[in-house]
Structure 1
Amino acid sequence: MEFSKKVRTFDAFPKVDAQHQVRSTRGGFSTLLTILCGLLIFWVEVGGYVGGYVDHQFSVDKNLNSQLTINLDLIVNMPCEFVHTNVMDITDDKFLAGELLNYAGIHWFLPLGFNINNVNDKHSTPDLDEIMQESFRAEYLSQGLKVDEGAPACHIFGSIPVNQVKGDFHITAKGLGYRDRHHVSKEALNFSHVINEFSFGEFYPFIDNPLDQTGKVTDEKFIAYKYYTQVVPTEYQRLGITIDTNQYSLTESHIVYPTSHNGNPTGVPGIFFKYDFEPIKLKIIEKRIPFFQFVARLATILGGIMVLAGYAYRLYEKLLSILFGKKYVNRDTEKLSGGLLDSERKKKEGEKEDGRTY
C-alpha cells in the first residue's frame, strides 16, 4: 500500500509549483509559436535523415588502368573516303582508329537544339540523382563498318581503346599530316562538324558531357579545331550501387593556317581532341548519419529551442515592463491557485462568510 502511494506521487518530469505559474495571453501565444517551430524543425530533420546527404571526396586515384575507352559519335562535312582518323599519345604509340570506328556516309545537316559555333565554357558536375537516372550502359553494335563512303558527309561513331596517358585523337584529311596515296584537294576540305557524343570510360549515352550536342560550321579550308580535355575519374555511390565513370573539363581554340608559297597550309588542318588524365579521383556518395546520432542531434536542437524561447519571452516581458510599466504587463495575467498564501486567503474568506472574525 505504501509502495503504490509512492508510485502514484512519483513524477519523472517535475512541474513548476502552482504558486510560481502565471497565465497570460502573451505566454500562450509564445508557447504555441515555440511548439510550431519545434514541429517544423522536427519535420525538416526527419526529412534530412531519411533523404541523407551527398558527400564529395577527393582522393589520389590508386587504380592503375593501362587503357581507357573513348566513345564518340559525330558528323564531319566531308566524304568518308577523304577522312583519316588516328590516335597518338606521349608514348609514341599510334593506333589506327579507323579499324574499329564505324563510317557511314550521309547528307550533311545541323541537328535541332545543338550548340553551334559557341564557346563551350559552362560545365558542371552532374548530381547524384541525374547520374542514377541516366546511367544506362550501352555498346555500339558494330566495329569497322564502312557504308556509302562517297556520300557528301561522314557519320563517324564507335568506341576505341586508348592508353591512359596524355594524347590526342584527331580527324584529318588524307594526304595532310600523314603520308597517303590519296590527297584531298583544297576545294574538297570542309571540317564543319557536329558532335553528338564524346566521353571517356564506359559508354553511358544518356549522361551529358561538355562536348555533347555541340558543333562548328565554317567556310575556311585550312582550319584546325582543338579541344583540350582534362579527365577526372568519378565514382557515384548510392544504396550499395556504384557507378564508375569519367567527367572532363573543356577548353577549346581554333586556328586558320596561312598558306605557303606553294599553296599548302603551314599547319595540319583538322579536328583535334587532346586529352590528359588527372591523378585524383572524385567520389560522390550519398550518406546517412547513424540513428542514435540523429536522435541525440534532434533532442539537442529541440531542447535548445525551448531554452531560447524561454530567454526570448523573458526579454520581451522585460522590455514591455521598461516601456509601459508593470501594470501594463500584469493586466492580462492570471495567477494560478494552489500556493500557501492562496490557501490562507481562502480560509479567511470562508471564515468571514460564516460571520466569524479574528
Structure 2
Amino acid sequence: MESFSKKVRTFDAFPKVDAQHQVRSSRGGFSTLLTIFCGLLILWVEVGGFLGGYVDHQFTVDPEIRSQLSINMDLLVAMPCEFIHTNVMDITDDKFLAGELLNFEGTNFFLPPTFDINNENAKYETPELDEVMQESLRAQFMSEGHRSNQGAPGCHIFGSIPVNQVSGDFHITGKGIGYRDRSNVPMDALNFSHVINEFSYGEFYPFINNPLDFSGKTTEDSLQAYKYYTKVVPTEYERLGILIDTNQYSLTEQHITYEIKTDGKLSGLPGIFFKYEFEPIRLKIIERRIPFIQFVSRLATIIGGLVVLAGYLYRLYESILSVLFGKKYVNRDTEKPGGLLDSKTPPIESKNY
C-alpha cells in the first residue's frame, strides 16, 4: 500500500522536461506569447458564439391546413377611386368583392423619392432573424370599407382582405372593363401607374420588409397591365421561446401593353394583378445553442490543436533557420538555464591538515 501511494505521489500525467535539457530563446518566448494570444482570441470567439447561438434554417412539409389568410395592402393608384374596381378570384371560382372591405381615399398621385420606381424587384433579401425580432410589431387597419374624396386624381387603397388559401389573384381594373358594372370608364381615362407601400400575406407586420414594399411603376399607356406572380411560403421565426408566424413570398413580374382590335375589343385586360400560389412547405428559422458539454469539448479540442500546431510550426521555423543560416545562427540567441551556482555537483570540501 505504501509503494502504491508513493507511485501516486510521483505520478505526473504531464511530465516536465528537466531544466538542464531546456533552452530559452527570444524566438521561443515570442512563439509562446503568440500562441497565448491566439488561444485567448479563439476563446473569446467561441464563448461569444456559444452565448449568441446560431441560426438554423429548416424546411419541412407544412402540417397545418388553413382555409383562409389575409392579404394586407397599402398602395396608391394614379386614377380616381370612382373609376377603380377591385376583386379576388381563385381556382375554386369563389369571387370576393374586395372593395367592400378595402378603404378608398382620394388624393393626389405622387412618387415618393425613396421608392424603387420602374425597376424589377431583383435585389430583395430575406429578412434576418434579428431584423424580424426587432420589427415584429403586429398591427391592423382601423377601418373597413371607408370612402372619401372619390373624384380626386389618385386613389389610396389600403386594408386587409381574407382569401382562401388556394391559388388565385387579386386585381385592380377599371369599372366596366372586363366586368359588368353600372358605369364604364373611358379607355383614355385609365392609368395604372402605382406605388406600393405594403403588400404582404398573413398576419400584418407593417415593419417587416417584403419584395413589393416601397416599389412602384409608372406608365403613359392607358392599356397597360402589371402582373405580379408571388409564391407564398409560411415562415416561422423563433428565438428564446418567442414565435413569429408570418409568410414570405418570391416574386416575378410581367408588364404587358394591350391594344384595341379591329372589332373594337381589347386584346387583354389592363390593370394591376397580384397572382398568388401557396407552397406546401414551411420554413423555420430558429436560434439555437450547442449543449454546454459539447461546447467545452469543442473548446478543449481547438486549444489542444492550437498548442500542437504551434509546436510543429516553431520546430519547422527553427529547422528552416538552421538550413539557411546554420546552427550557430540559431543557437546564438539561446540561453540554457542554470549556472555555476545552480550546479547540482556537490562543492569540494576544504580540509585542514
Partner of 1:241: 242
SS in 2 for 1:187: helix
* Alignment of 1:186 onto 2:187: yes
SS in 2 for 1:175: coil
Cα deviation, residue 219, structure 1: 1.1
CA deviations 1:222-272 (Å, max 9, x no partner) are 111101111111110101101011111111111111111244422111100
Cα deviation, residue 355, structure 1: 9.7
Partner of 2:119: 118
**Which whole-Å CA distance do the structure 1 matches of 2:267 and 2:76 have between them?**
26
Matches within 5 A, 1:38-77: 38-77=39-78
Moved segments of 4+, more than 6 Å? 2-10
Cα deviation, residue 6, structure 1: 9.2
Partner of 1:256: 257
Partner of 2:333: 332
Q: How many percent of aligned residue pairs carry the same amino acid?
A: 72
In structure 2, stretches of 5+ residues that fail to align are: none
Q: Give the alignment's Cα RMSD to 1 decimal.
A: 2.3
CA deviations 1:268-327 (Å, max 9, x no partner) are 111000111111111111111111111111111101111111111111122222222222
**Which whole-Å CA distance do the structure 1 matches of 2:285 and 2:48 have between them?**
20
CA deviations 1:169-220 (Å, max 9, x no partner) are 0000011111112110112111111111100000000111111111111110
**Which whole-Å CA distance do the structure 1 matches of 2:332 and 2:112 have between them?**
77
Q: Given that residues 123 and 249 in structure 1 are in contact (C-alpha distance below 8 angstroms), is that contact kept between their aligned partners in structure 2?
A: no
**Which whole-Å CA distance do the structure 2 matches of 1:220 and 1:321 have between them?**
82
Matches within 5 A, 1:81-120: 81-120=82-121
Cα deviation, residue 147, structure 1: 1.3
Q: Given that residues 74 and 194 in structure 1 are in contact (C-alpha distance below 8 angstroms), is that contact kept between their aligned partners in structure 2?
A: yes
**Which whole-Å CA distance do the structure 2 matches of 1:86 and 1:355 have between them?**
121
**Which whole-Å CA distance do the structure 2 matches of 1:321 and 1:153 have between them?**
84
CA deviations 1:66-108 (Å, max 9, x no partner) are 1111000111111111111000111111111011111111122
In structure 1, stretches of 5+ residues that fail to align are: none
**Which whole-Å CA distance do the structure 2 matches of 1:269 and 1:324 have between them?**
83
Q: Given that residues 257 and 265 in structure 1 are in contact (C-alpha distance below 8 angstroms), is that contact kept between their aligned partners in structure 2?
A: yes
Structure 2 letter corresponding to 1:139: Q
- Point out the more displaced range, 300-309 or 327-336: 327-336
**Which whole-Å CA distance do the structure 2 matches of 1:319 and 1:254 have between them?**
68
Partner of 1:277: 278
Structure 2 letter corresponding to 1:175: G
* Alignment of 1:165 onto 2:166: yes
Q: Given that residues 80 and 150 in structure 1 are in contact (C-alpha distance below 8 angstroms), is that contact kept between their aligned partners in structure 2?
A: yes
Cα deviation, residue 10, structure 1: 7.0
**Which whole-Å CA distance do the structure 1 matches of 2:291 and 2:223 have between them?**
62
Q: Size of the alignment, in residue pairs?
A: 348
